[in-house]
Structure 1
Amino acid sequence: MSLTAPPTPTPRITYGEVLGSPYVARLLGGTLTGRLPNGMAPVAILLWATASGHGIAFGGLLSALYGLSSALAQPVKGRLMDRHGQSAVHLPAALLNSALLVALPVAGPYGGSGLAIAIVVGGGLTTPPLEAGLRALWPSVLPDPRLRHAALALDTGTQGLLYIVGPLLVAALASAYNPAVALAVTAALGLAGTVVVALAPPSRRWRPEQFEGQVEARAQQLTTPAVLLLFVSLTGIGFAIGAMNVWSIAMAEHHEQDMLSGIIPAAFSTGSFLGGLIYGRRTWGGTTANRLISAGAVFLAGWLPLVALPGPLAATVAVAVPGAFLTVVVACAYVTTDSLAPAGRISEAYAWLILSIGVGQSAGTALAGRLAEQPLASAALPAAGAAVALAVLLAARRHLGPSGQLPRGRHRRPLRGRHKTP
């Protein structure tokens, strides 16, 4: 008979414990509020353009330019944060972004389409890099890896809610008042949320750990095959999301149910939120790289039922499955990026990750728009994007290594040396 005591089971993580940790609720709540313009501004800009007589085509162009310019500027703002700190980037960006959103309905009608385009592009370029900033803060705010794992899952899972709450809020404000009011509220929420984050001690005191080596070595490390393949795979993930959004509109038109264009993306985002809650509540076995590939496989499998051209109810239920595993894919991608990127450029690396998803989403939206009148092709596009993502991840397995870390001798220093703890 063995006298060895059985191992004590690891206690389950609670989100109350995570949110009760110092600064977590403030940082998460401020970031979500500050990022509401990501879901609100494109819709508010479109509604303002149509209400001002510019037409829906021009409004769609303005909306697309805002999102594209915001995505393209992410790496630049990430590098600025790595060099100058978070508050020095967040606050000026938020002030400029809010001022330009408020200026659009004031100056837009007098300067013609050229001025409106300039204001919108400027607004997109100056969106505060709150998402990349928050991911860089978690190690200093939550030194316990288990709590950090739960916070990252909660953070990632709640992102989809921005694109449900934001458009609904804009529609309500535009209906009750006018699109100019919706733009003003969008600007106010973005500024308020950013100020809450930027003035929090962890954000004010955050500085990246300096990488021990030459600038050239750091640049090479950010463009290793592992990093590049990871980001390429994420364009496939974004492609699937963008194609799904257009496919939902095609579904709504085909079945003459306008609400489907909002219900299907909402079901996808709800699945992402619930998947994040489940994933973050426990510590999972295996390596991050293996979890990333496994989640990518299920993400692909979740899109396959759409190829059978299901009805509205079945389609709505089906998209919740890939939505649930989207959070796992993105959370694991952030952890992998953290292990691969040079310490002095972690915010920039996160920004490239965000840009990769955004570029893929734009490509998926564009191609799905051209194939919207072909039901089978339109329904198959999300699976095609997910298949590309999985194929690239499988090809990257050897570069990521068995543990998803850099080879021995290139590991990052311990977390306690990376940030100034408040």
Structure 2
Amino acid sequence: MVGPYRGLFSTPGVKSFVLAGFVGRIPISMLGIGITLLVHSITGSYATAGAVSAIVSLAFAVAAPLSGRLVDRFGQARILVPFVFVHGIALSGLMLLAHAHAPLWTLFVSGAIAGVSATSLGSMVRARWSYLLSDSGKLHAAFSFESVADEVIFVTGPAFTAVVATSVNVYAGLIVAVVLTVLGTLAFALLKRTEPPAVRHRQERGSPIAIPGVALLSGVLLAMGAVFGSVDIVTVAFAEEQGSKAAAGFLLAAFSGGSMVSGLWYGARAWKITLRSRLVRGLFVFVAGLTPVLLMHSLGAMAVALFFAGLAISPTLITSFSLIERLVPAGQLTEGMSWLSTSVGLGVAVGAWAGGHLTDSFGASNAYGFAYACALLAALVGVAGSTWLRTPVASESRS
């Protein structure tokens, strides 16, 4: 399984940008649960906590394509540096406002600023891989590696945040998130040797979202993001109902752990079926994997169910980014990938809001039904529009 990944790091500069990008995006997995725990500790409402968490994701979803377009035109470093400072200040402001018991609307405002100023660092890491690697087999392995790295982040981040927030201080996880975001992003921006060249005077082609296949993938990942957002909120409440709120991080780690394992396996294989077929199959496995979650009523059983529910996540995301790499012109690659991040972020916002309200109204176990419905919607959308995902046979055969 290690073989396909071994040769990825021989290219000069790769290790540095991979490490910096990894550190800079660790907080992605920490913000949702960190904000949820902080706001819930102040208000006592999962609906309110989910709404504040959702506004961060929603603001990111709205702004990410614009920041992606700016990166394509002006380069990664010129956009990342000012954005990350604003992002760090906004998150720090949110914590200070919460500590001062400021009016609720101020949390929403600071959260919105934090979301708008967040950047899709994962898309920029993948853009560097695309710039450096011409062999599509290696690029498939690189995208798989990045998806696994994302899942390592989502395994460790929520567990760490939940533990330190419940056993040390409710602000501790978010403080670590701010520090890692600023340091990792600045380090990534300073690595100029591997940065893709800016395309300042390109022929205007319009937004990549106008490409039918990109629009379809965005719709699929919007629904998947709603699964992620709702599962984050509902799982925190489920753990509390079972008498161990700190266990929420470990339950979410199980969800991401399944995805991490499947991502390693998926990237190590030389696939003969098309990307389009892989996407459709992955979506149906996602639906099937989530089904047992609806039936679990103990922490141990839920951890096992969430692990199996996560098995389809990485293969589906890897395939989606691989399709984007083929569907979008090179000069718009960061923006094209940002549309996927935008869709996931918007879905997370909707899922967090809905998950919070449904949990308050019907209890955590019943609220998991929303996540299942969103997974089913993602599969139906993917199947209905799969013809838009056809790419040239030559390109497919190289994966």
Instruction: Give the TM-score taking structure 2 as reference length.
Output: 0.84
**What is the aligned counterpart of 1:320 among 283, 307, 312?**
307
* Conserved? CA contact 1:46–1:59, under 8 Å: yes
Distance 1:192 1:60 in 2: 28
Read off the aligned partner of 2:58 and give its amino acid letter.
L
**Using a 3 Å threshold, how does the CA distance of structure 1 residues 68 and 84 change in structure 2: closer, same or farther?**
same
Deviations for 1:38-71, whole angstroms, at most 9, x for unmatched residues?
Answer: 23345555666678xx535566554433333223
Distance 1:180 1:368 in 2: 23
Distance 1:21 1:201 in 2: 15
Distance 1:238 1:247 in 2: 14
* Conserved? CA contact 2:73–2:200, under 8 Å: no
The residue number in structure 2 matching 1:230 is: 217
**What is the aligned counterpart of 1:82 among 65, 72, 86?**
72
The residue number in structure 1 matching 2:23 is: 33
Deviations for 1:383-404, whole angstroms, at most 9, x for unmatched residues?
Answer: 3222211111111122222xx3
**1:141 is the counterpart of 2:132:** yes
Matches within 5 A, 1:346-357: 346-357=333-344
The residue number in structure 2 matching 1:418 is: none
Deviations for 1:229-274, whole angstroms, at most 9, x for unmatched residues?
Answer: 2211112212222333344345435544445533322111011111
**1:339 is the counterpart of 2:329:** no
**What is the aligned counterpart of 1:386 among 350, 369, 375?**
375
Distance 2:248 2:34 in 1: 18
Indicate the SS of the match to 1:201: coil
Question: How far off its partner does 1:35 sit?
Answer: 1.4
Distance 2:209 2:247 in 1: 41
Tell me which of the two structures has the higher relative contact order, counting C-alpha pairs closer than 8 angstroms and 6 or more residues apart.
2
**Using a 3 Å threshold, how does the CA distance of structure 1 residues 185 and 398 change in structure 2: closer, same or farther?**
closer
Question: How far off its partner does 1:104 sit?
Answer: 4.7
The residue number in structure 2 matching 1:419 is: none
Deviations for 1:196-248, whole angstroms, at most 9, x for unmatched residues?
Answer: 2111134545335976xx52xx2276313322222111122122223333443
The residue number in structure 2 matching 1:127 is: 118
Question: How far off its partner does 1:328 sit?
Answer: 0.5
Higher helix proportion: 2
Question: How far off its partner does 1:166 sit?
Answer: 3.0
**What is the aligned counterpart of 1:306 among 293, 300, 303?**
293
Read off the aligned partner of 1:393 and give its amino acid letter.
G
Structure 2 spans left out of the alignment, 5+ residues: none
Distance 1:143 1:297 in 2: 32
Question: How far off its partner does 1:105 sit?
Answer: 5.0
Bigger radius of gyration among the two: 1
**What is the aligned counterpart of 2:61 among 71, 74, 82?**
71
Question: How far off its partner does 1:163 sit?
Answer: 3.5
The residue number in structure 2 matching 1:6 is: none
**Using a 3 Å threshold, how does the CA distance of structure 1 residues 115 and 362 change in structure 2: closer, same or farther?**
closer
Distance 1:49 1:253 in 2: 15
Deviations for 1:271-327, whole angstroms, at most 9, x for unmatched residues?
Answer: 111111111112211111111111112111111223444654333222222312210
**Using a 3 Å threshold, how does the CA distance of structure 1 residues 70 and 279 change in structure 2: closer, same or farther?**
same
* Matched-pair identity in %: 27
**Using a 3 Å threshold, how does the CA distance of structure 1 residues 44 and 390 change in structure 2: closer, same or farther?**
closer
Question: How far off its partner does 1:89 sit?
Answer: 0.8
Distance 2:245 2:36 in 1: 18
Distance 1:256 1:339 in 2: 48
The residue number in structure 1 matching 2:387 is: 398
Question: How far off its partner does 1:185 sit?
Answer: 3.6
Indicate the SS of the match to 1:273: helix
Structure 1 spans left out of the alignment, 5+ residues: 1-10, 412-422
